[in-house]
């Protein structure tokens, strides 16, 4: 093994520790400690696929599959950092966890409809709900997470005549986003609502965070915490007397915004740009759950069937016409002969209609026989194959007799 100076080794270890997310490092370390304790209690000396299978089998008896995936991810990261162990190579282990996940449906936060949001903004009194109303406008307009609302500062909001331009420099995916709030669209004026709340800001406030605690029609100097934002959708649901208000969580604002956007016909690219998602999976979930998308798909299926029925109806009608009016070469020949004998200068037009499904073909010779009143007359003008309409070919020819 190559010798490394002590300072280099320590710096390498410090760099490895940064591989764990700083915000969740404590939780990751706790999961790693639980695994180490389990090994000690069961007299396990080393790591192997059998060891991890036994460990997660015991977890499967206590936790849901989604929790198991979370524990697996944390343990994989900590073992990689602390013991240089890569458990992703254990395919039986991942197959076992996937099997536990089969048929599992994750619980999702309930969403608000456009009408419910407007009703709350219009009917809820400002004395008790002004902060929640302003948060609802910002969160739905920008698809904001609770953490993004907590960190939103005054300098992130620009008022430009009849719109608000809001910047989100701190996001979960470390990707800056921005959005606008228009002067109407919520049944009220969102900008007037924003101004009313801004004017209540105490002058002695030292924080730059925009959302401050609101009580009895007044703002305090204390910034609103993340738990306050998490309870707001449930409070809205209770005001509107919606069923199961506890299912409206802090994520309901973001899910409602994405659902409203999809219902307006937004594609997956627009949705990803709006929400700042990197992968298609989450965005596809909103499209899949959209009622309007299901209705649109159903209409397309029904409309296609109606079009097919109309085409079949037209085809059957044309077949009946051909059957009842058996336009053949002999009839056309007789008609043209009579027309030619009635005048020395005569313009004759002949037409043959044949079904393209019968396999019969019309040739120049056929047309000449129809157009000529005598066998020794010069041939007629070359005919055109014409058009095809619902499996019926129409052929035209012109002959000038002098």
Per-residue pLDDT tens digits for 64-121: 888 888 999 999 999 998 998 999 999 999 999 888 877 667 778 899 999 999 999 9
Residue 279: what pLDDT? 80
pLDDT in tens, 317-343: 666 655 555 555 455 455 555 544 444
For helices 252-263 and 291-324, angle between their N-to-C axes, nearest 10 degrees:
20
- If you average pLDDT over residues 358-380, what whole number do you get? 53
pLDDT of 24 > 80? The answer is yes
Distance CA 303, CA 393 (A): 28
Strand pairing report for 177-182 and 212-215:
unpaired
- If you average pLDDT over residues 216-240, what whole number do you get? 95
355 — pLDDT class (breaks 50, 70, 90): very low
Residue in the block written with tokens 């055109």: 384
- If you average pLDDT over residues 164-168, what whole number do you get? 94
Residue 115: what pLDDT? 94
Contacts of 288 (CB under 8 A, 6+ apart): none
- If you average pLDDT over residues 299-311, what whole number do you get? 67
pLDDT of 280 > 70? The answer is yes
Distance CA 284, CA 267 (A): 10
pLDDT in tens, 131-147: 999 999 999 999 999 99
């Amino acid at each position: 093994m190559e010798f490394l100076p002590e300072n280099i080794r320590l710096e390498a270890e410090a760099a490895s520790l940064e591989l764990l997310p700083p915000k969740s490092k404590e939780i990751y370390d706790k999961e790693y400690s639980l695994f180490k304790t389990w090994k000690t209690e069961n007299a396990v000396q080393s790591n192997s696929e059998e060891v991890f299978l036994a460990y997660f089998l015991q977890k499967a008896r206590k936790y849901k599959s989604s929790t198991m995936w979370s524990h697996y991810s944390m343990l994989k990261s900590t073992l990689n950092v602390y013991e240089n162990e890569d458990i992703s190579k254990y395919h039986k282990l991942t197959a076992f966890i996937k099997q536990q996940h089969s048929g599992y449906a994750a619980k999702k936060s309930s969403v608000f409809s456009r009408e419910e949001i407007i009703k709350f903004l219009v009917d809820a009194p400002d004395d008790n709900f002004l902060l929640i109303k302003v948060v609802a406008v910002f969160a739905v307009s920008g698809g904001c997470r609770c953490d993004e609302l907590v960190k939103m500062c005054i300098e992130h909001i620009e008022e430009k005549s009849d719109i608000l331009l809001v910047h989100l420099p701190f996001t979960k995916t470390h990707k800056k986003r921005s959005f606008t709030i228009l002067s109407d669209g919520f049944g009220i004026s969102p900008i007037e609502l924003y101004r009313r709340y801004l004017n209540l800001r105490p002058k002695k406030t030292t924080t730059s965070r925009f959302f401050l605690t609101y009580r009895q029609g007044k703002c305090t100097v204390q910034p609103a915490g993340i738990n306050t934002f998490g309870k707001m959708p449930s409070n809205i649901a209770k005001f509107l007397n919606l069923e199961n208000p506890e299912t409206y969580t802090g994520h309901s604002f973001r899910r409602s915004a994405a659902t409203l956007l999809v219902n307006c016909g937004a594609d997956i690219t627009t949705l990803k740009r709006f929400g700042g998602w990197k992968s298609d999976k989450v965005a596809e979930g909103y499209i899949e759950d959209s009622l309007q998308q299901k209705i649109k798909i159903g209409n397309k299926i029904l409309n296609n069937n109606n079009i097919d029925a109309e085409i079949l109806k037209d085809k059957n009608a044309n077949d009946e016409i051909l059957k009842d009016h058996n336009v053949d070469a002999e009839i056309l020949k007789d008609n043209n002969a009579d027309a030619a004998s009635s005048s020395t200068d005569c313009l004759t037009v002949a037409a043959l209609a044949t079904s393209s499904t019968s396999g019969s073909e019309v040739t120049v010779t056929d047309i000449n026989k129809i157009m000529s009143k005598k066998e020794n007359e010069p041939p007629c003008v070359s005919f055109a194959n014409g058009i095809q309409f619902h499996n019926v070919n129409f052929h035209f020819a012109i002959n000038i007799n002098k």
